Chain A
C-alpha cells in the first residue's frame, strides 16, 4: 500500500468511527441498566427502555405527532415553496431579493425569538396547544429553507425548455408531468427530506407554540435527559435518529435516479 493510499484508508476508518461511535454509545446506553464507573460492562442489560418507549401511550402519541408534523411540513412546505421560489426567481431583481431576505429571516432568526412571536400569533388564531398550531409554526422555518432551495434552482432555470414544450403543444399539466417534475425530481426529493428534518428536530417552536400540550419525540427525549433517565433518553435519541437517517437515505436514492440534470 502506498503511503497515500494508507492515509486515505486511515481517514475513512477515522471518519467511520467518528460518525458511528456516538450512535454505538447510544445503542449500548439504551440497553445498559445501572452502568456506573468504574464498571467496564453494564451490571445488567435489558430492553426495558425500548419496551417503555413503545408501550407508553404518551410516547406513542409523541411519536405519532412527530411523524404527522414532519410529513405534513415536508409536503405543504414543498408545495408552497416550489411555486413561490419559481415565481420569485423569474421575477424582477427587487422581488427576488425581498423574497430571499424574508426566507432568510425565517431561517436565521433564533428559534426562541421566532417562537415567541409565533406563539402570540398562533394563540390569537385560537390554535395554541394544538397540532395544527405547531404545524403552522414548523412551516415558517421550513418554508424559509425550502424557498431558498427553489429560489436557487429556478435562478438557473432555462425557461426555453418550457417554451419549447409549449410550442410543441404541451398544456400546463403536460408540461409539469413530462418536463418539470422529471427535471425537478432531485430538488423536490431534497426539499421533502429537508422539510421533514426541519420539523422532526424542532424543539423550541414546539415547546413555545404547543405549550407542553403537543408532545413530540424530541421533547420527550429532552425531558428524559433533564430527569437523568439516560437509558430511556438513549433509546429515545435512537428512535429520533433512525427515521432521520432513513429519510436522508431514501432522498439520496431517489435523487440518484434522476434521469436528467438541471443546470
Chain B
C-alpha cells in the first residue's frame, strides 16, 4: 500500500525536477538606460526578431483590436518585432513586478507597461521601472511637450522613465434625445439634480471619484489651488465643502444615495436603460465609440463642464526586469508615429486623444487629424482644450477615495 503512495511521490518529484530543469532562465537582457545611449539604428537592429510582451488594460474590445490587429502586424512587418498584449493594470502591475523581483528571477515576463499617475509613482519609488530611455525615441520630437497634461503625469516628472502615447479628458455622457438641454456647469448640474430626483449618480470606482475631484476643484478656486504637491489643510477644507454638497444632494440621487454603481460599466447600463440620465467617462469620445458599438444609445453625446474637467495622459513604461527593452522602445516609438496616433484617434477605432503637437506635423497629416477631430458628434477640440485641467498630486485622489468610502458611502 505504501509502495503506491511512494510511487506517486517519486513520480511527482520527477515531474517537478523535469519542470525546474527544463526551464532555462534567459540571460539578463540589455537594460533600457544603456540601450538609450546607443544610436537608434542599433536599437532597431537589436530588436529585430524579438518578442515584446505588453501588459495593458484589456477590457475594451476596440482597444484590443487596435493593438492586436493594427499595431501588432505593422511592428512585425516594419521592425520584425512580435507584439503580444497581455492583461494587467494599476496595482496589479506593481504586485506582479514586486513578486517577480522577490522570486529572485533576474528577468521578468513583460517588457512594456501601460501606466500613469499613481502606478507610475509606485513603480518608480520601488525602483521597478527602467530609465531614462524615452529621450532616444525619434518620434518623440513630435510630442506636444508644451502641454502641461502631457509633460507632467499627475504633477510627476516622467523623467524619461515613461513615454506618453495618448490623452483623455473627463466628460459627462448624456442622451441628446432625452436631455437636449443638459447642464454645463457644476451649478447648473446641482440645479438639474434637484429638479430631477433619482436621475443622477456617479460610480464608486476611479471615474466617479475623478468626477468628484473635478467638482472639488471647481468649488475651491480651480485646480491651481491644489497644485504644487499634496497639502492636507487645503484638502480638508475642500473636502468639507464637497461632502456638504454631496450631503445636500443625497436625497436627489439615484436610490437616494444609498447605493452607487460599482464601476463605469454598471453606470453605462443604468444610463442606456433609462434608469439615470447621465453617465461618466474618462474619455471624452467614449459616448460616440460606445454608441457605435451598440453599448450606449445612438444619440449619446459627451459634454465637458465649463468649470473645467480633468485631463491626463497615459504612458508606456519599461520594467527594470524587462526581457526585451529594445523591442519595447520600438513599440513605444511606433505608437508615437503620426499614422498610429491618427488610427488610434478614430472614433470607430478607439478615439484616444493624440499626444502629438499637430503644428509640428506636415500639412497632410494635420488635415487628416482635423478631419477626425471635426466630427460633429464629438466635443470640439477647442472646447476640450479650453476646459482641460491637468491632474495634480495623486494623493488627493487616494485621500478622496478613502474618505468617500468611509464617510459618504
- Using CB atoms and an 8 Å cutoff, list the residues of chain A in contact with chain B: 33-34, 36-38, 44, 52, 56-58, 80, 83-84, 86-88, 90-91, 95, 119-120, 123-129, 132, 136, 211-213, 215, 219, 223-232
Q: Which residues of B contact A132 (CB under 8 A)?
A: 19
Select A120's contact among B7, B58, B102, B266, beta carbons within 8 Å.
Answer: B102
Complex: A238 Cα to B96 Cα, angstroms: 31
Q: Which residues of B contact A228 (CB under 8 A)?
A: 264-266, 268-269, 290, 295
Interface contact A128-B8, CB-CB below 8 Å: no
Interface contact B23-A127, CB-CB below 8 Å: yes
Report which residue of A38, A87, A127, A212 has the largest number of chain B beta carbons within 10 angstroms of its beta carbon: A212
Interface contact A223-B8, CB-CB below 8 Å: no
- Look across to chain B and name the residue whose beta carbon is closest to the beta carbon of A223: B59
Interface contact A128-B68, CB-CB below 8 Å: no
Known: A37-B275, A125-B23, A128-B99. 7 other contacts (CB 8 A): A36-B274, A213-B109, A223-B87, A229-B61, A229-B293, A231-B295, A232-B61
Q: Which residues of B contact A136 (CB under 8 A)?
A: 19
Complex: A124 Cα to B268 Cα, angstroms: 42
Select A84's contact among B8, B60, B85, B293, beta carbons within 8 Å.
Answer: B8
Complex: A228 Cα to B264 Cα, angstroms: 8
Report which residue of A34, A126, A231, A232 has the largest number of chain B beta carbons within 10 angstroms of its beta carbon: A126
Quick one: given A37-B274, A119-B99, A226-B263, are A127 and B19 in contact (CB under 8 Å)? Answer: yes
Q: Does residue B405 face the partner (Cβ distance < 8 Å to A)?
A: no
B1-18 contact mask (Cβ, 8 Å, vs A): 1 or 0: 110110110011000100
B261-293 contact mask (Cβ, 8 Å, vs A): 1 or 0: 001111011001111000000000000001001
Select A227's contact among B12, B53, B61, B272, beta carbons within 8 Å.
Answer: B61
Complex: A122 Cα to B178 Cα, angstroms: 53
Distance in Å: Cβ of A124 to nearest Cβ of chain B: 5
Complex: A30 Cα to B20 Cα, angstroms: 43
Interface contact A227-B60, CB-CB below 8 Å: yes
Complex: A232 Cα to B110 Cα, angstroms: 28
Select B105's contact among A83, A84, A126, beta carbons within 8 Å.
Answer: A126
Interface contact B86-A213, CB-CB below 8 Å: yes
Q: Which residues of A contact B88 (CB under 8 A)?
A: 211-212
Quick one: given A126-B25, A219-B87, are A58 and B103 in contact (CB under 8 Å)? Answer: no
- Look across to chain B and name the residue whose beta carbon is closest to the beta carbon of A92: B1
Instruction: Count residues on chain B whose CB falls below 8 Å from chain A CBs.
Output: 52
Interface contact A231-B294, CB-CB below 8 Å: yes
Select B68's contact among A56, A90, A211, beta carbons within 8 Å.
Answer: A56
Interface contact B272-A124, CB-CB below 8 Å: no
Distance in Å: Cβ of A46 to nearest Cβ of chain B: 8
Complex: A40 Cα to B272 Cα, angstroms: 14
Select A126's contact among B4, B20, B60, B110, beta carbons within 8 Å.
Answer: B20
- Look across to chain B and name the residue whose beta carbon is closest to the beta carbon of A33: B294
Complex: A39 Cα to B272 Cα, angstroms: 11
Complex: A87 Cα to B16 Cα, angstroms: 21
Interface contact B274-A227, CB-CB below 8 Å: no
Number of A-B contacts (CB under 8 A): 122
Q: Which residues of B contact A56 (CB under 8 A)?
A: 61, 64-65, 68
Select B5's contact among A84, A127, A231, beta carbons within 8 Å.
Answer: A84
Select A225's contact among B19, B20, B265, beta carbons within 8 Å.
Answer: B265
Complex: A86 Cα to B5 Cα, angstroms: 9
- Look across to chain A and name the residue whose beta carbon is closest to the beta carbon of B11: A80
Within residues 64 to 105 of chain B, which ones have a CB less than 8 A from any CB in chain A?
Answer: 64-65, 68, 85-88, 92, 96, 99-100, 102-105
Complex: A226 Cα to B268 Cα, angstroms: 11
Select A91's contact among B2, B290, B297, beta carbons within 8 Å.
Answer: B2
Quick one: given A34-B297, A58-B64, A227-B265, are A215 and B86 in contact (CB under 8 Å)? Answer: yes
Report which residue of A34, A119, A123, A228 has the largest number of chain B beta carbons within 10 angstroms of its beta carbon: A228
- Look across to chain A and name the residue whose beta carbon is closest to the beta carbon of B24: A126
* In the complex, the 4 A-B pairs of residues with the closest C-beta atoms, listed nearest first: A228-B265, A212-B87, A87-B4, A37-B273
Interface contact B100-A123, CB-CB below 8 Å: yes
Complex: A56 Cα to B64 Cα, angstroms: 10
Select B61's contact among A33, A83, A87, A224, beta carbons within 8 Å.
Answer: A224
Complex: A87 Cα to B9 Cα, angstroms: 12
Report which residue of A57, A95, A120, A128 has the largest number of chain B beta carbons within 10 angstroms of its beta carbon: A128
Q: Does residue B298 face the partner (Cβ distance < 8 Å to A)?
A: yes
Q: Which residues of A contact B59 (CB under 8 A)?
A: 223-224, 226-227
- Look across to chain A and name the residue whose beta carbon is closest to the beta carbon of B298: A34
Q: Which residues of A contact B23 (CB under 8 A)?
A: 125-127
Q: Which residues of A contact B290 (CB under 8 A)?
A: 228
Q: Which residues of B contact A225 (CB under 8 A)?
A: 265
- Look across to chain B and name the residue whose beta carbon is closest to the beta carbon of A76: B15
Distance in Å: Cβ of A1 to nearest Cβ of chain B: 41
Distance in Å: Cβ of A164 to nearest Cβ of chain B: 18
Q: Does residue B239 face the partner (Cβ distance < 8 Å to A)?
A: no
Q: Does residue B55 face the partner (Cβ distance < 8 Å to A)?
A: yes
Complex: A225 Cα to B264 Cα, angstroms: 11
Interface contact B294-A129, CB-CB below 8 Å: no
Q: Which residues of B contact A213 (CB under 8 A)?
A: 53, 55, 86-87, 109-110
Interface contact A87-B92, CB-CB below 8 Å: no
Complex: A227 Cα to B65 Cα, angstroms: 14
Interface contact A230-B269, CB-CB below 8 Å: yes
Distance in Å: Cβ of A80 to nearest Cβ of chain B: 6
Q: Which residues of A contact B85 (CB under 8 A)?
A: 58
- Look across to chain A and name the residue whose beta carbon is closest to the beta carbon of B266: A228
Interface contact A87-B5, CB-CB below 8 Å: yes
Q: What are 5 inter-chain pairs, A to B, with CB distance below 8 A?
A: A36-B272, A36-B273, A120-B99, A223-B58, A223-B59
- Look across to chain A and name the residue whose beta carbon is closest to the beta carbon of B56: A212
Select B109's contact among A119, A128, A229, A232, beta carbons within 8 Å.
Answer: A128
